[in-house]
Amino acid sequence: MPDNKNFTFIITSNRKGQTRSVTVSAAWLKASIAIAIVTLVFLAAASVDYFGLLLEQGENKLLHAENDQLSRQFQVVESKLSSLESSLERIKTLTTKIKLITNIEDEDRVMKLSLGSSSRIEQSLSDFEYDGDHDERAPAGEFLKSDSMFLEKPPLDEIRGELAATRNHDYANLSIRIDRAVKNSALREQGVIRLQELLQERQSILNATPNIKPARGWFTSRFGYRIDPFTGKSDLHLGLDIASASGTPIMAPADGVVSYVGYEAGYGKIVAIDHGFGVRTRYAHNSQLYVELGQKVKRRDIISAVGSTGRSSGPHLHYEVRINDVPVDPINYILDE
- Render pLDDT for 188-241 as a digit per residue (tens, 0 to 9): 777 777 776 777 777 788 888 898 999 999 999 888 877 666 666 767 888 999
The residue ranges of DSSP E strands in the chain, in sequence order, are 6-12, 19-25, 218-221, 224-227, 234-237, 240-243, 249-251, 256-264, 268-276, 279-289, 296-297, 302-306, 316-323, 326-328
Determine the average pLDDT of the residues in 135-153: 47
Q: How many angstroms separate the Cα of 123 from the Cα of each of 127, 189, 190, 238?
A: 7, 14, 11, 39
For the stretch 305-314, what's the b/e string if a residue is b when 16 or more beta carbons lie within 10 angstroms of its beta carbon?
Answer: bbbebbbbee
Say which range, 134-138, 206-210, 330-334, has the weakest mean pLDDT. 134-138
8 Å CB contact between 21 and 11: yes
- Render pLDDT for 172-186 as a digit per residue (tens, 0 to 9): 777 777 777 777 777
Residue 294 has pLDDT above 90, yes or no: yes
Please report, for the chain, the start and end positions of each structural domain, with discontinuous segments joined by +. 6-65, 72-208, 218-333
0.85 exceeded by pTM: no
CA distance 224 to 245: 24
* Per-residue pLDDT at 137: 43
Which residues, 6+ apart, have CB-to-CB distance to 38 below 8 Å? none
Q: Which CATH architecture best describes the domain 218-333?
A: Distorted Sandwich (2.70)
Determine the average pLDDT of the residues in 295-319: 94
Backbone torsion region of residue 123, taken as left when φ is above 0, otherwise alpha when ψ lies between -120 and 50, otherwise beta? beta
- Render pLDDT for 312-328 as a digit per residue (tens, 0 to 9): 889 999 999 999 999 99
